[in-house]
Amino acid sequence: MQSQVPVPMTISIMAQEDRTGRGGDHIPFRVKGFRNLRFTSANEHGDASTDSSWYHDRQHTSDDILGVDTDGDLIVDSFFVDFNYLQRNAVINGMSAALLALGPETPTFVVHDGPNGLRVSLNGAPSLAAYRIGVRSTNANLDFDAVYRTTDTSYVIPGLLAGDIYYISVAGIDSAGIMSPFSHESLKGNDADTPAAPTDQLPYGIACAPITVPEVVATMGTLTIVPDPASDIITLVTDQPMGNVVLLDMMGREVVRTRFVASVPITVASLPAGSYSVVLLGTDNSVRAHARFIKN
């Protein structure tokens, strides 16, 4: 899927089912043998240490709130949710579910280790107009090294090197251009170099732009950190009013939280050397400005 929204979204496949010691609603389905996908954000607000007195997260307990009431009318009007991000997630989830429901079954296949290279034998169906062959080496990540498209049910995989081992997976494409999920992977050793061939770039996208919620461009204030690099103290120069200041390390962990007062320095002497993000929050806890500095 290709992002076609004003603010692009990158979709990446991760090897782990979840972070160590964590889980989700998708796991029982996987245990029962159901094919499933889990969509998760790459960045969370906090680390879910709910037993800490410093807990400030907004997405890990039933007591967390989605926003604040800034004008006293008892209605939440400033949200901690980016609705542009939420709308893209909704479109991606909905389109993925629709394509899985409307698309064809995954074809079955056998990989033969022949004298001319690895050959895929596909058990095609009348509804399938073409096939995709995904190839990755054993030293690669979960991304395919190459994807090829063919209408043949017997296909010698291009671009392979003799003596290497490959994971092979296949998918079917119906007459409407909808692709099935890729199959399980078959691991095979290859005995012959095979000539290169054009790869399939999977040129399919989601037209997210026409959906009814318009993109809202947040207006950020300016924030300058002096000095940068810093050893002992930093001073913030900003066009924003007083609020809270949060310092985050490179892992996104909160290391300092204090009240911002213009021209009053913030002590950073005890922090380890490294790169830090400084986030200036408004009275409603919305992000008003942010910048980075180097701690010597």
Q: What is the mean pLDDT of residues 211-222?
A: 60
* Between residues 92 and 276, the one the model is more confident about: 276
Alpha helices in the chain (DSSP H): 26-31, 83-102
Per the CB < 8 A criterion, the answer to whether 127 and 175 are in contact is: yes
Residue-wise pLDDT tens digits, 14-28: 666 776 667 777 788
Local structure of residue 176 (DSSP, 8 states): T
**Collapsed DSSP state (helix, strand, coil) of residue 200:** coil
Tens of pLDDT, residues 87-109: 777 877 888 888 888 889 999 99
Q: How far is the C-alpha of 79 from the C-alpha of 284, rounded, in Å?
A: 9
Question: Is the confidence at residue 236, as pLDDT, over 50?
Answer: yes
Q: Which fold has domain 223-295?
A: Immunoglobulin-like (2.60.40)
Per DSSP bridges, beta strands 205-206 and 2-3 are parallel
**Domain boundaries, given as residue ranges, for the chain:** 46-77, 108-206, 223-295
DSSP string, 37-93: -----S--SS---TTSTT---SSSSTT--SEE-SSSSSS--EESS-HHHHHHHHHHH
Query: Is residue 132 predicted with pLDDT exceeding 90?
Result: yes
* E strand residue ranges, the chain: 2-3, 67-68, 78-79, 108-114, 117-123, 128-137, 146-150, 154-156, 165-174, 186-189, 205-206, 223-226, 233-238, 244-248, 254-259, 266-267, 274-281, 287-295
Q: For residue 144, which amino acid is it?
A: F
Query: Selecting from 3.40.30.10, 3.40.50.880, 3.20.20.70, 2.60.40.10, what CATH number does the domain 108-206 have?
Result: 2.60.40.10
- Asked if 108-206 and 223-295 have one fold, the answer is yes
Predicted pLDDT at 227 = 94
The whole-angstrom separation of Cα 208 and Cα 96 is 13
* CA 84 and chain centroid, separation: 15
Tell me the mean pLDDT in the region 145-149. Answer: 93
